[in-house]
Amino acid sequence: MSELYIDEIFTPAKEYLLRKQDEREELIRLGRDITSYSKKAIFSLHRSFSEQLQHEQAMTDLTELKQYLQILGTGLIQVKSLYEANINLRGNVAGPIEELIEFFTFGYFITNEKLLQYDQFISYIQILLDHNTKESHDVILKSLLFDVPIPAKYSSKTEVKFIDIGDYLMGLLDCTGEIMRLSIQQSSQYEGTLQLETTQEQYRYLQDFYHHLMILTGHYPGLSVYRGVFENSTKSKGNISFMKKLQVFHTSIRKIETTLLDILISDRETI
């Protein structure tokens, strides 16, 4: 076999593999950025919407969150482009997307105290993919945080193939930890009168959500979410990951219970 013939066979294969390796590394880098800025956005929400600030004040100062949305939007556009030719790299995308979902679901809960629907979350991602502009960031945040309707011009049919409802569930489970931290932070501002309605409402919300998950796992004991895909396979990677998140969720509820009991006991001792 001549050297020229070998080059004709292996050179294209080598170039293809190198290109795929570059695309994989780029997806990993983008994933790290999405994870990082989603976390920063969550921290910003905690700071901006603490009990010490009025929501009106927080609404007028969304600059930091808009900057994070700009970066997240740019990253998501690149992920969409790369993912369409690298569907096998789903595992590199799932983790960062869960963190992104955690940011959006927490942002919606912190002011609306209810669950952000999956379809509504996808509509925000579609806006970022189609219109990653300052105006669109303002539209997203006002809808997310203050339930302002999205103008019809932002309606989109863009497919978001790199996000699945399984990612949404896993991200939502992570969000419960942020709700727990918010709840304990708010209760720490307790001033001697038992006015903990907000913390108690958040506690009941988490209890109700956990109860529904218990019903779900009762019907599907092997419930598994792996790379965004649902399965019913006991002791699979996805099942182990799901059960760990569920255990952390249960621990979060117990932490709020302990905080409320401590305050109640302290209040009675004061009396």
**CATH code of residue 43:** 1.20.58.190
> Do 46 and 170 sit in the same domain of this protein?
no
> Do 110 and 184 sit in the same domain of this protein?
no
Query: pLDDT band for position 268 (50/70/90)?
Result: low
Residue-level pLDDT at 110: 92
Residue-level pLDDT at 170: 94
Task: Give φ, ψ of 188 to 5 degrees.
Answer: -70, -15
> Do 114 and 173 sit in the same domain of this protein?
no
> Do 170 and 159 sit in the same domain of this protein?
no
Nearest 5 degrees, angle CA 256-CA 240-CA 76? 80
> Do 191 and 234 sit in the same domain of this protein?
yes
Average pLDDT, the chain: 88
Please count the other Cβ atoms lying within 10 Å of the Cβ belonging to residue 101. Answer: 25
Length of the chain: 271
Domain boundary among 163, 182, 210: 163
pLDDT tens-digit map of 29-49: 999 999 999 999 999 999 887
Query: With contact defined as beta carbons under 8 Å apart, do 176 and 164 qualify?
Result: no
Domains held by the chain: number: 2
Report, as an integer, the average pLDDT of 231-242: 87
> Do 78 and 92 sit in the same domain of this protein?
yes
Query: pLDDT band for position 193 (50/70/90)?
Result: very low
Residue-level pLDDT at 194: 44
Query: With contact defined as beta carbons under 8 Å apart, do 55 and 127 qualify?
Result: no
Quick one: tokens of 18?
A: 């190198």
pLDDT tens-digit map of 162-172: 999 999 999 99
Quick one: tokens of 256?
A: 């709020």
Domain boundary among 132, 163, 194: 163
> Do 264 and 182 sit in the same domain of this protein?
yes
Q: Which domain, by its residues, includes 110?
A: 1-163
Q: Does the pLDDT at position 68 exceed 80?
A: yes
Q: Does the pLDDT at position 235 exceed 90?
A: no
> Do 56 and 118 sit in the same domain of this protein?
yes
User: Is 93 exposed, middle or buried (CB count within 10 Å of its CB: 0-12, 13-18, 19+)?
Assistant: buried
14 vs 154, which has greater pLDDT? 154
Domain boundary among 129, 163, 197: 163
Nearest 5 degrees, angle CA 136-CA 96-CA 44? 55
**Nearest CA-CA partner of 187 in 264, 113, 260:** 260
Beta bridge partners of 223: 232
Report, as an integer, the average pLDDT of 198-219: 92
With a pLDDT cut of 90, the percent of the chain lying above it is 64
Query: pLDDT band for position 12 (50/70/90)?
Result: confident
> Do 209 and 88 sit in the same domain of this protein?
no
Q: Does the pLDDT at position 267 exceed 70?
A: no
> Do 146 and 21 sit in the same domain of this protein?
yes
Q: Does the pLDDT at position 186 exceed 70?
A: yes
SS3 category, 227: coil
> Do 156 and 172 sit in the same domain of this protein?
no
Nearest 5 degrees, angle CA 231-CA 235-CA 236? 50
Residue-level pLDDT at 265: 78
20 vs 55, which has greater pLDDT? 20
The DSSP element (H or E) to which 225 belongs, if any, is: strand 223-226
> Do 142 and 230 sit in the same domain of this protein?
no
Report, as an integer, the average pLDDT of 199-205: 90
Query: pLDDT band for position 6 (50/70/90)?
Result: low
With a pLDDT cut of 70, the percent of the chain lying above it is 88
The distance in angstroms from the start CA to the end CA of the chain is 94
